[in-house]
Amino acid sequence: MDYPSLIFTSRPTGRVIDKDVFVDLKLSLLVGDEALDAMSRMCPPEDIKPRQEMFTALESGETRRCYEELAATAGEVKRLRGALDLARCDNERHYIFAAMICHLMRFYSAAAKARGEGFFASRFREFFAGSLADERIAAVSVKCEDMAPRLEKVRTSCFRERGEELWVRRCSDITIVERLKKCAEELGLKDVRVTRDIEEHLNPRIVNALALLFPEDFTIFKKFYEDYSDLFSEQFLRYGPELGFYIEISRLMDRVRELGMPVCMPEPSAERVIDVAGIRDISLLAKEETHIVPNDALFTEEEPFFYLTGANGGGKTTYLRGVGIAVSLFLAGCPICADRAKIYPLEGVFTHFPRDERFDSEGRFADEQRRIKDIVARHGGNSLVLLNETYSTTSEELAVGLTERLAEQFYDSGSFGIYITHQHAIGESRIPFLSVIVDVSDANRRTYRIARRRASDSSFAEDILRKYGMTEEALDRRFPAERA
């Protein structure tokens, strides 16, 4: 069955963002693998707006709950599909298949009534409403209504094995766990935060004994399997990650709003520009930081690439991550944390951050060269490239030359980007500089704000010299004779 995607209007571009990018940007600390998997498979530019419509729909509490329930049901179908592969006898296989299709039909029924407007929500709802009108699917849905209590009856049976004797008996619907929880409540104890289920794969002898205990039910399960074993399509399993993507990102933005920070839907730009006001590095939320300084980012065709310099601890890497997160979220059709944004649909995001565990016996410098060579070959001239202290492990003389050549190459390529560097020997350059702003009125406190600067006045040390009149020009004016 050709299920309609919830994230692609037709098909993916085939381009991917490496998962390492999300690790560098620390997005991997905020959302799970399902959301990152969806983000890594880049969508065509025309899919950005439909995804934004879906996120807007999920701002409604009722719509969100509807899709959360769908995600939970899709997760149960996936779990049972995995269990089906592990079945060790026909009776077990028939039971699991019947349970899986019952959950599948619950998904169909809920999806046919799913709330929300926009392209993806409407297409999704109409597909499942139409599917339920199909004669075969309608018949399966009716059979599932009959099987559900039978499945529950078998599931809540209990058994025990003593020596070579197998004992199987029916039990109360009130489990031991439920009884213990009730006792705890009567004692005034709070419910546990996490419930851990201990799963043990049943011996086929036990399953077959259950089948003997419930012969009518297992005969129905067998007939259902024989009639509908071709019903399930593996394509359905993609709904778990797709729904997880929307729900996880929506919850992340809920957290951002709760902290009083702005959330906006970036406007796709027809012009090659990245123009974001009030951008925040929300990866800091992973460290429970709530006071996140906003910054602006502006990249144009005239100034597509920047050096970023300044003293350690001034917020350079934070700025780099903020830009990277905003662009990555936009390219996935997500809302971002910013006051406003207008972004051109790029074809990729590439990062080069120092991480010791990445290099092998060749050394870190060789590892850097290899990774940079890969980015240069793949970025395609229409991407965002973020470099964090690349070539910082070699000699300054060599590093300056390599840095200048690499920056010039990206500047001319058509890609946007930022290059954090401590190579102060870099002189005048046609590549513009960004730097950390220093608040000279408050003991030279770094403000974590980033602004456009000239290369010659970009360092924190020179800001201090300027405040106290210790620059070369100021000293010449104050002590002309001594300095002559």
Q: Mean pLDDT, the chain, as a whole number? A: 85
Domain range spanning residue 174? 159-192
* Claim to verify: residue 399 and residue 419 sit in the same structural domain: yes
Section 130-159 average pLDDT: 90
* Claim to verify: residue 251 and residue 266 sit in the same structural domain: no
Section 454-460 average pLDDT: 45
* Claim to verify: residue 358 and residue 242 sit in the same structural domain: no
Asked, for residue 2, whether it belongs to a domain, the answer is no
Asked, for residue 80, whether it belongs to a domain, the answer is yes
* Claim to verify: residue 223 and residue 184 sit in the same structural domain: no
| Rounded Cα gap, residues 310 and 422, in angstroms | 7
pLDDT band at 198 (very low <50, low <70, confident <90, very high): very low
Asked, for residue 237, whether it belongs to a domain, the answer is yes
* Claim to verify: residue 115 and residue 183 sit in the same structural domain: no
* Claim to verify: residue 171 and residue 272 sit in the same structural domain: no
* Claim to verify: residue 267 and residue 408 sit in the same structural domain: yes
| Strand 158-162 relative to strand 165-169, pairing | antiparallel
Output the pLDDT for position 478: 66
Output the pLDDT for position 17: 95
* Claim to verify: residue 141 and residue 218 sit in the same structural domain: yes
Pick the closest to residue 51 from 65, 35, 66, 62 (CA basis): 35
| Token reading at 434 | 């960004």
| Rounded Cα gap, residues 333 and 49, in angstroms | 7
pLDDT digits (tens, 9 = 90+) for 148-187: 999 988 887 655 445 555 455 544 555 666 777 777 777 7
Share of the chain above pLDDT 90, in %: 61
* Claim to verify: residue 270 and residue 356 sit in the same structural domain: yes
Q: What is the CATH number of the domain that holds 475?
A: 3.40.50.300
pLDDT higher at 77 or 200: 77
Neighbours of 424 (CB within 10 A): 14
* Claim to verify: residue 248 and residue 292 sit in the same structural domain: no
Taking a C-beta distance cutoff of 8 angstroms, is the pair 121, 114 a contact? Answer: yes
Output the pLDDT for position 403: 85
Asked, for residue 449, whether it belongs to a domain, the answer is yes
pLDDT band at 209 (very low <50, low <70, confident <90, very high): confident
pLDDT digits (tens, 9 = 90+) for 247-291: 999 999 999 999 999 999 999 999 999 999 999 999 999 988 888
Structurally, the chain folds into a number of domains equal to 3
* Claim to verify: residue 174 and residue 229 sit in the same structural domain: no
Residue 371: partners with Cβ closer than 8 Å, 6 or more residues away: 352, 358
Could you give the C-alpha distances from 333 to 344, 357, 381, 479, in angstroms and in order?
A: 12, 32, 21, 60
* Claim to verify: residue 351 and residue 395 sit in the same structural domain: yes
pLDDT digits (tens, 9 = 90+) for 289-302: 888 999 999 999 99
| Rounded Cα gap, residues 85 and 83, in angstroms | 5
| Rounded Cα gap, residues 246 and 34, in angstroms | 10
pLDDT digits (tens, 9 = 90+) for 50-64: 999 999 999 999 999
Section 22-47 average pLDDT: 94
Output the pLDDT for position 359: 46
Asked, for residue 200, whether it belongs to a domain, the answer is no
Asked, for residue 393, whether it belongs to a domain, the answer is yes
pLDDT higher at 34 or 216: 216
Residue type, 286: A
Asked, for residue 429, whether it belongs to a domain, the answer is yes
pLDDT digits (tens, 9 = 90+) for 302-326: 999 999 988 777 789 999 999 999 9
Long-range CB pairs of 24-27, under 8 A, 24+ apart, other chains included: 24/321, 24/324, 24/351, 24/352, 24/353, 24/355, 24/386, 24/388, 25/283, 25/321, 25/324, 25/325, 25/328, 25/351, 26/283, 26/286, 26/321, 27/283, 27/325, 27/328
Asked, for residue 378, whether it belongs to a domain, the answer is yes
pLDDT higher at 194 or 423: 423
Place of tokens 């799963």: 199
| Rounded Cα gap, residues 271 and 274, in angstroms | 9
pLDDT digits (tens, 9 = 90+) for 415-441: 999 999 876 667 677 899 898 876 555
